Structure 1
Amino acid sequence: MFNIRSSRTAVAAVALTAAAALALTGCASGSGDAASTYDPDEKVTLSLAFWGNDVRAELYNEAIAAFNEEYPNITVNSTFLTFPEFWEKRQTEAAGGNLPDVMQFDYSYLRQYSQNNLLLDLDPYLGNVIETDPLPANVLGIGVVDGVTTGIATSTNAWGLFTNPVLLETAGVSEWEGGSWEDYTDWMGEITAGSGGAFWGGADYSGRIQNFELQLRSEGSELFSEEGEPGFDEARLTEFWESGAPIRDGIGIPQQRVEEVLPKGGFDSALTASELTWDNFGAGYIAGLGEGYTELGLIAPPVTKEGAKDLYLKPSMLHTISANTDHPEAAATLVNFLVNSPESGAIFGTNRGLPASETALEGADLDPLSQQVRDYEASISDRLGDAPPVPIVGYGTLEEKFRQLGTELAFGTVSVDDAVKQFFAEMDVILNQ
């Protein structure tokens, strides 16, 4: 979901300046006072920061121009950086109390910045300045930390199962029709057997923490509660990692083959016929597979418990407002335009992911792959539940540890029992730092 490894020092700096951040929010608490005194004719200048490249920058320029047609009194000065540089700069600004007015935001940092009181409480602006009708309740809930809305999702994605129709045909195996995790393992085995050794049915699903999360949600739990308490014990993690043993024993792609094709993966190297991941990865997979691939299968993941609300919509990104902005309502007006307006949907399309707002989605011209994602998310509506609590600070480190241990399990260099002990030791450090 996210990764904080490259910014540990900067994260610590933000934590040390929490007291300063508290002072900042006293100046812009989001109480609604600013909204009641806002003059729509007043000349206002806002700063807007986002990560991306020249293509995205041009799209933002177009969106700002469209925004100014409706709000000519609000000048928007935008800046952009690559993803790592973006967060390095935000950490420095947070320590100095001068974050941009409006920020494109990553889910991974939402709790950290919210709990350090660096982000504006948006609740007073919801339903008036920021339209909420186009945003489903489960999407609005994504940006809530400790009962306060601090971010609005621009776009969403969901966990899904990609399949390779070319490899399925070669192996003589039909598309997976759904079922349990055991059914999925058996189906992968049929593909591996039918390939004649040329490719495999998939990879060990127990190496991804998201698949563990899916099973926990089916059981009425979460990876971590709002208070940061784990929703599983050592026995449950042991059970999960042991469930991947048949895949590691010949059904799934050998880890050595995975290593040989890095930085690509087994799926976009046409070495595996299925991949469990976020549904917005399709374009990258098709690009990686190259000539001969114009479409992929996209279906729901295995079922742990029938009727469970195990899936959820995750934000590809959000928009937030600095707690120390001098113009909270003008900033909220800009956020509303970037998230909800048909003009924004038409300009960005799926550059930021599938638009979360119905009105923005109506304005977007979806390519076939984006339409497939939209149809997929509609197809899993009966499995979509509320999003889990915003990730704990340090979740990225735990996700990476989980992945590393999954790799070691695949290589056979660590036992399940030792892997569980190592993960709980890492988790103890993260939760008590």
Structure 2
Amino acid sequence: MQKELDRRSLLKLTGGSLAALGVTAAGCGAGSGSGDGTVTLRYAWWGSDDRAERINKTIALFEKKHPKIKIKTDFQPYLDFWKKFNTQAAGGNPPDVFQNAIGFLRKYDERNVLLDLREQVKAGHLRLDGFRAGLEKFGEVDGKLLGIPVGSNSMALVIDKPLFAKAGVTPEMGWTWDDFHTAMEKIRDKGRPGDSGLYGVMYLYDLYLRQHGKAFFTKNGLGFTEADLKEWWTKGRQGVRSGIYADPKKVAQVKPKSAVAAELAAAEFTWDNFTVRYTAEGKSSYGLAPIPTTDGKKTGQYLGSLMLSGSRRTRHPRQVAQFIDFMVHDPEVAEIMGYDRGVPATTAQYEAYRPSQESDKVIASVNKDIAAYEESLVDADVLETITPHPAGADVCEAAFLRVAEELALGKRSVDDAVEQYFNECKTALGSR
């Protein structure tokens, strides 16, 4: 799923130069062909050095199995990727196939950038069978298939297990926000704030809204009111003042290190596939706990995912579809990628890779916990369909993070922060 652009995702998504990785920057024009029938596709993505190395291995495997299709690659850190992609899309020159996220589907569909992959499915070049938990529908927008998921993740509460045990707190599926609040008080009374703070965790707020029959986004705009957001941010501020949430200024000072690993809080909400960083950064033992509920049942959760999308301007839609099909179905790809982009989206890849395969025991243990967590969501039958995102959602996401931080650091009052946020979203979303 796109993931929220916060300190956790930026740590994971930055780094690496093209030269250091031996990656060829994409040239101009759509995918090309040669006299011998060989087709060249341009493929672009964002991520860490490790992701680039893994993806390059999958490309080598693809080219070995499909000698008539060559892949020219373009790897960038997250922010640089979208800056470059915006320029390419505006100039009618986007890559043939590229990594994508839910917040960008409508935006680029409305700009006629994205290839509807439905025709390639009908032609037999792209399979939609074998996806886990309905993920094949993740990239659908208004009847069009604009992206194919490569992995899944979901929101979770990362906890410092010894601190929770010391406070006598055992989070279980179905615990409520009242239970969560009580747990944070118990942990605070043992000497540490319970959570790192809820101000800027947009996708957690989305789940809270969904628990109340609303959503952060609808396909037309925001799905909540100024009064709703005022209530959420007021509770966040009260939590800081009561000591159950960490001091925002201290949290800001330790960035990019997480507040949990820095021992400023006992827990924080994030995407489950980000959890490897806590063991790498901290000295304690960390685990995943379920999302609190309003009624003891509904968490509002869905499986998010990174996706692969095609360009509407590509000259080779069949080869684009074949490339995407390979990347989401071939078992050897899963063995190479692991959980770098989330838990594999298809059953074939999920079964092909097991965390125990990792030589790094820390990564193996964390990946095992991630898989178990997502299996628990399926078993509990709490997963729902993801909320549609309107064009301009990416701007609203960035604004939420920034305005929430200004609020947390005391630069804005709650009323001022709410007004500022809605004004920015009205501009980003236009008449929506």
* TM-score when normalising by structure 1: 0.82
In structure 2, the residue matched to 1:51 is 46
The 5 Å alignment of 1:19-418 reads 42-126=37-121, 128-136=124-132, 138-169=134-165, 171-177=166-172, 179-195=175-191, 199-228=192-221, 230-249=222-241, 250-289=243-282, 292-293=283-284, 295-308=285-298, 310-315=300-305, 317-366=306-355, 367-381=364-378, 382-389=381-388, 391-412=389-410, 414-418=412-416
Equivalent residues of 2:292, 2:299 under 8 A apart: no
Identity %: 34
Post-superposition shift, 1:245? Answer: 4.5
Post-superposition shift, 1:263? Answer: 2.5
SS of residue matched to 2:275 = helix
Post-superposition shift, 1:362? Answer: 1.6
Matched positions, count: 389
Equivalent residues of 1:141, 1:387 under 8 A apart: no
1:184/1:401 Cα in 2 relative to 1: closer, same or farther (>3 Å)? same
Residue identity opposite 1:44 in structure 2: V
Post-superposition shift, 1:224? Answer: 1.8
Post-superposition shift, 1:314? Answer: 1.0
Equivalent residues of 2:197, 2:268 under 8 A apart: no
The whole-number CA distance in structure 1 between the counterparts of 2:65 and 2:255 is 48
The whole-number CA distance in structure 1 between the counterparts of 2:405 and 2:256 is 15
Equivalent residues of 2:301, 2:382 under 8 A apart: yes
Equivalent residues of 2:69, 2:319 under 8 A apart: yes
Equivalent residues of 1:345, 1:360 under 8 A apart: yes
Equivalent residues of 1:346, 1:364 under 8 A apart: yes
Residue identity opposite 2:277 in structure 1: G
SS of residue matched to 1:45 = strand
Equivalent residues of 1:2, 1:395 under 8 A apart: no
SS of residue matched to 2:209 = helix
Post-superposition shift, 1:114? Answer: 1.6
The whole-number CA distance in structure 2 between the counterparts of 1:50 and 1:85 is 10
Q: Which moved more, 1:243-252 or 1:52-61?
A: 52-61
Post-superposition shift, 1:355? Answer: 1.2
Equivalent residues of 1:219, 1:305 under 8 A apart: no
SS of residue matched to 1:385 = coil
In structure 2, the residue matched to 1:429 is 427
* TM-score when normalising by structure 2: 0.82
Equivalent residues of 2:42, 2:72 under 8 A apart: yes
Post-superposition shift, 1:309? Answer: 5.8
Equivalent residues of 2:167, 2:190 under 8 A apart: yes
The whole-number CA distance in structure 2 between the counterparts of 1:64 and 1:405 is 40
The whole-number CA distance in structure 1 between the counterparts of 2:303 and 2:79 is 24
Post-superposition shift, 1:408? Answer: 4.4
Equivalent residues of 1:146, 1:226 under 8 A apart: no
The whole-number CA distance in structure 2 between the counterparts of 1:87 and 1:414 is 29
The whole-number CA distance in structure 2 between the counterparts of 1:263 and 1:372 is 23
The whole-number CA distance in structure 2 between the counterparts of 1:262 and 1:53 is 18
Post-superposition shift, 1:321? Answer: 1.1
Structure (1 or 2) with the larger CA radius of gyration: 1
What CA deviation, in whole Å up to 9, does each residue of 1:166-222 have, x standing for no partner?
3334x4433334522122111111111112xxx211133244222221121112222
What CA deviation, in whole Å up to 9, does each residue of 1:51-102 have, x standing for no partner?
3355333323322232234322222232323323322332232233222222
In structure 1, the residue matched to 2:12 is none
Unpaired runs of 5+ in structure 1? 5-26, 29-40
In structure 2, the residue matched to 1:24 is none
Post-superposition shift, 1:393? Answer: 3.3
The whole-number CA distance in structure 2 between the counterparts of 1:413 and 1:101 is 44
Equivalent residues of 2:44, 2:98 under 8 A apart: yes
The whole-number CA distance in structure 2 between the counterparts of 1:314 and 1:376 is 14
SS of residue matched to 1:129 = coil
SS of residue matched to 2:246 = coil
Residue identity opposite 2:320 in structure 1: A
1:164/1:111 Cα in 2 relative to 1: closer, same or farther (>3 Å)? same
1:77/1:368 Cα in 2 relative to 1: closer, same or farther (>3 Å)? same
Post-superposition shift, 1:411? Answer: 4.4
What CA deviation, in whole Å up to 9, does each residue of 1:370-409 have, x standing for no partner?
12111101111211100111x3333343334333443444
